Structure 1
Amino acid sequence: MTTANTTHAGTNVLDNAFNSSASTIALIGRVLLAAMFVLAGFDKIGGFEGTAGYIGSVGLPFPEVLTVLTIAVEIGAGLALIVGFQVRIAALLLAGFTLAASVLFHNYWAMPAEQAYVQQLMFMKNVSVAGGLLMIVALGGGTLGLSKGK
């Protein structure tokens, strides 16, 4: 067997393993992505006034209403992603929410140098999470769930 055939055979073994485990891997990925949102949503319930104050501090109107909407999106869409209900819609909603929050609350380009580094890390983390969510929008959430990949 040549090196090219060995590499090809090894790739086939990996491809077969990944393909046979795709639904389980997709479920794990959904849970890992959604956990951040669900936990943050519940934290915001306990810290409602602080969250509303933070939202208001960047000049957004109706901070209490936006806090309620934020909690609903984080918990609602996060749980939908976990249980596999309308995963593409939930992922799209969370991706849009994450990108908007990144621009509004992690605008490192407008911060003093001593704050910019951490805010840039938070911004890039959020952009990466949004990228993962958009992969779910494009490819679906796998077959393990209430909506069977949709």
Structure 2
Amino acid sequence: MSSSAIATQNSVTTQNSIATPQISSAWLPAAADLAGRIGLAVIFALAAINKIQYFDANAAYMASGGVPAALLPLVIAFELFGALFVAAGLLTRTTAFALAGFSLVTAAMFHNNLADQIQFLMFFKNVAIAGGFLVVAAHGAGRFSIDSWRATKARR
């Protein structure tokens, strides 16, 4: 058997006659967890910045959905700190669960006109984001996180 065939054989497992590549590096899942958390967090950080830049327009939009405009500073803080916590991996499960709920509530309140194609897409974008946050809430932040660092420190 050639050396390339042996290398291929060692890097692939056969399960039910389907070849699946093996992830031999421990850092890859941790890096994927970090990249996924950052990807989810970025949309909330950008939304918070948008709400600050266009404060009056966002306050009016919230009021049109029945949410008091006076709550806008709290929404901004929630989005911004939630994004920072998830990206850093701090209190990740709780924060991800809260952001999932927030995504579903905002979908129902502000993107409920499913006959409008844009609102239809925005609604399901929020549902998809909530799904991503629920995965993070279920599995935790991963190795590259403050939560992991704190857990390792507590075990010592």
Fold agreement, TM-score > 0.5: yes
Deviations 1:117-148 (A, max 9, x none): 11111101110110000000001111111111
From 28, 34, 38, the equivalent of 1:21 is 28
Matched residues in 2 for 1:37 and 1:20: separation? 26
Q: Choose between structure 1 and 2: higher strand proportion.
A: 2
Q: Which runs of 4+ in 1 moved over 6 A?
A: none
Separation in 2, partners of 1:104, 1:58: 6
CA contact (8 A) 2:100 2:133 kept: yes
- When normalised by structure 1's length, the TM-score is 0.83
Asked if residue 72 in structure 1 is aligned to residue 77 in structure 2, the reply is yes
Partner of 2:113: 108
CA drift at 1:46:
1.4
**Bigger RCO of structures 1 and 2 (CA < 8 A, at least 6 apart):** 1
* Secondary structure at 2:22 match in 1: helix
Cα-Cα RMSD: 2.2
Write the distance in 2 (CA, Å) between the matches of 1:8 and 1:125. 36
2: CA distance between counterparts of 1:59 and 1:25? 38
**Alignment deviations for residues 20-48 of structure 1 (CA, whole Å, 9 cap, x no partner):** 41111100000001000001101111111
Matches of 1:104 and 1:67 in 2, distance apart? 15
How many residues align? The count is 138
Q: Name which one, 1 or 2, has greater alpha-carbon Rg.
A: 2
Match of residue 127 from structure 1: 127
Instruction: Give the equivalent residue in structure 1 for 2:52.
Output: 45
- Segments of structure 1 that go 5 or more residues without pairing to the other structure are none
AA at the equivalent of 2:127: V
1:33 aligns with 2:40: yes
Among candidates 80, 87, 101, match of residue 82 of structure 1: 87
| Residues in 2 aligned to 1:7 and 1:80: alpha-carbon distance in whole angstroms | 37
